[in-house]
Structures are given as structure tokens and as C-alpha cells.
Structure 1
Amino acid sequence: MKMLIVYTYPNHGSLNYAFLQNVIRGSKTNPNVKELKVLDLYDEGFNPLLVFNEHKRRRDIHTDPELEKYRQQISWADKIVFIYPIWWGRPPAMLLGYIDQLFASSFAYKDKKGLFPEGLLKGKSVICISTMKGPTHYPFLWLNNAHKMLMKRALFHFVGIKKVKFFEFGNMESPKGKQMKKLEKIYRYFKRLD
């Protein structure tokens, strides 16, 4: 398995970074993980802003040379792991900007006759690890599961990725948030992942 981790948090002293380290640590002891790459969007200086003008057209974004290495990373990976906080009920703007630019027509999907396009990323799988200040069930009970619907149905299923797993960790700013137990859960999961 070739695994790409897309990490989206601006502070390496954070709990999100500890989750990243546990994903890496677990994956390195897993014989099923043959290759591992990490894309830290903040360290990379990734520009999340869409620019469309007379020189850059939306319909050509799938060939934008500035995004080629990121397209190659997605094409290369069998499994993509996203690590990010949930802010205002959704992933941060940095990650959404990455998604807007990389999961583009003619790369991630192709329009065809009918209601739905053809997903071009079939065969890949995704794991989303997200943290939030509020309770774990807040997105489900208060926001009608908007985060999972956005990521799973509106994005991943649209581009042909059917296997999507979520770890949503709530109460992460609370002293009773069981942070160490949750970090250990992620380490064990990636150690056994196949």
C-alpha cells in the first residue's frame, strides 16, 4: 500500500500534529504500508486561493503546472489520510482550497451524460482524522452530519472513492478529552491497517 498523508494544521506543537506522528509511527511498523509520503499544507506554503482570469481558466485547472506535483501524489497513493481540525462545522479553508484545486474536472472526475460524473479516482480509499473543541456528536446532532456528508458524498463518492473512514475526536480542548487514549487508538489502527 502507498499512503499519502495530507496534514492541515499550522502548529507543530498541537494535538493534530501528535495525531500525525501516531499515524506515521503506526504505519512504519505496518508491513502492509510499503511507501509513505506526508504533505504538510502549511509547511509547504500551499496557496489555497483559486485564481481565475484571462491567463488561468477553471476548465484548465487539471493541467496547471503549479499543481502537477500534488496531482502526482494523489495519483500515486492507494490510500489518502487527511488530518485536520473541524472549524465552524467544516475543514479549514487551507484544506478546502487544496480540494478545490486538486479534485478538479478531467483529473478527479469526468462529466458524462446523466446526473453523476464518472469518478476517476476509483480504487483509492480515504481516512479522515479530525479534531474539534465541541462534543464528538455535535456535528451529527446539531449540524445534521454536515462534515461527513461534505467529505464523503459531495467529494469522495463524487470522484469515485467509495471506501471512506472517519475518526472524529471531540472535546479535544478539555482536560477530560481522553487525548492519550485517542492517540493510542490511531497508532493501533494504522499499525494493523491493511
Structure 2
Amino acid sequence: MKILVIYTHPNHQSLCYAFLQKVLKGSHENPNIKDIQVLDLYEEGFNPLLVFNEHKRRRDMYRDPHLEKYRQQISWADKIVFVYPIWWGRPPAMMLGYIDQLFAANFAYKDKKGLLPEGLLKGKSVVCVSTMKGPANYPLLWLNNSHKILMKKALFSFVGINQVKFFEFGNMESPKGKQTKKLEKIYRYFKKIDC
């Protein structure tokens, strides 16, 4: 199994970064995982801004040469792991900008007759590891599960990825947030995962 880890947080002293390290430690100790690539969007200096004009059309985004490296990473990976905070009930703008540009027509999906497109990323799976200041049930009870609906239904199902696992860790700024226990949970998950 080949894993692409997409890390989206501007601070390497953050709890998100500690979760990234646990993903990597568990993955390196897992004999089922043959190769790992890490894309740190902030460190990479990824430009999340969409630009469309007379020279750059949206329908041609799937062959933009500036994005070729990132398309190759997605094509290469069997499993894509996103590590990020939940800010204002959703992933950071940097990560959404990456998704806007990479999950493009004729690369991630193909329009066809009917309501839904053909997903072109079938066979891949996704794990979302997210942290938030608010309580663990905040997205479910206050936001009607909007984070998971956005990621699973509006994005991943649309491009053919149906196997999606979520770890939403709340109370992460609280002294009673059980951070160590949650970090170990991620480590154990990646150490044992087999597909």
C-alpha cells in the first residue's frame, strides 16, 4: 500500500503536527505500507488561489503543468490521508484550495449524462484526521455533521472514493482533552491498517 499524507497547518509546534508524526510512525512500522509521501501544503508554499481568465480556463485545469506533480502524487497513492484542523466548522482554506485545483474535471471525475459524474479516483481510500478546539460532538450536534457531509458526500463520493474514515478530535485546547490517548489511537490505527 502507498500512502500520500497531506498535512495542512502552518505551525510545526501544533497538535496537528504531533498527529502527523503519529501517522508517520505507525505507517513506518506497518509492513503493509510500502511507501509514504508527505505533502506539507504550507511548507510547500502551495498557492490555494484559483485563477481563471482568457489564458487559464477552468476546463483545462486537469492539465495545468504547475499542478502535474500533485496529480502524480494522487494517482500514485492507494490511500490519501488528510491531517488538518477544523476552523469555522470546515478544513482550512489552504486545503480547500488544494482540493479545488486538484480534484478537477477530467482528472478526478468526468461529466456524463445524468445527475452524477463518473468518479475517476475509484479504488482509492481516504482517512481524515482533524482537530478542533470545540467539543467532539460540536460538528454533529451544532452543524448537522456538515464537515463529514462536505468531505464524504460532496467531495470524495463525487470523485469515486467511497471508503472514507474520519477521526474528529475535539477539546484539543483543553487540559482534559486526552491528547496523549488520541495521539496513541492514531499511531495504533496506522500501525495495523491493511487497506
**TM-score (normalised: structure 2):** 0.99
Distance 1:53 1:115 in 2: 28
Using the alignment, how far apart are the partners of 2:142 and 2:13 within structure 1? Answer: 30
**Corresponding residue for residue 182 of structure 1:** 182
Q: Does 1:149 align with 2:143?
A: no
**What is the CA deviation profile of residues 37-90 of structure 1, one whole-angstrom value per residue up to 9, with x for unaligned ones?**
000000000000000011100000000000000000000000000000000000
For 1:118-129, list aligned pairs within 5 A. Answer: 118-129=118-129
In 1: Cα distance, 2:111 partner to 2:53 partner: 23
Q: Give the match's secondary structure for 2:54.
A: coil
Give the aligned partner of residue 137 of structure 2: 137
Deviation at 1:96, TM superposition (A): 0.2
CA distance in 2, matches of 1:87, 1:28: 29
Which runs of structure 2 are paired with 1:1-20 in the superposition (5 Å)?
1-20=1-20
In structure 2, the partner of 1:161 is 161
Unaligned runs of 5+ in 2: none
Residue aligned with 2:123, SS: coil
Alignment gaps of 5+ in structure 1 = none
Secondary structure, aligned partner of 2:188: helix
Inter-partner Cα distance in structure 2 for 1:110 and 1:118: 5
- Report the counterpart of residue 84 of structure 2 in structure 1: 84
Aligned position for 1:36: 36
Counterpart in the other structure of 1:172: 172
Report the AA paired with residue 7 of structure 1. Y
Say which SS state the counterpart of residue 84 (structure 1) adopts: strand
Deviations 1:120-149 (A, max 9, x none): 000000000000000001000000000000
Aligned residue in 2 for 1:22: 22
Structure 2: how far apart are the matches of 1:103 and 1:54? 21
**Equivalent position amino acid for 2:156 in 1:** F
Amino acid at match of 1:66: H
TM-score normalised over the length of structure 1: 1.00
Aligned position for 1:98 = 98
CA distance in 1, matches of 2:59, 2:112: 15
d(CA) in 2 for partners of 1:13 and 1:114?
47
1-structure distance, mates of 2:88, 2:19: 21
Q: CA RMSD in A?
A: 0.3
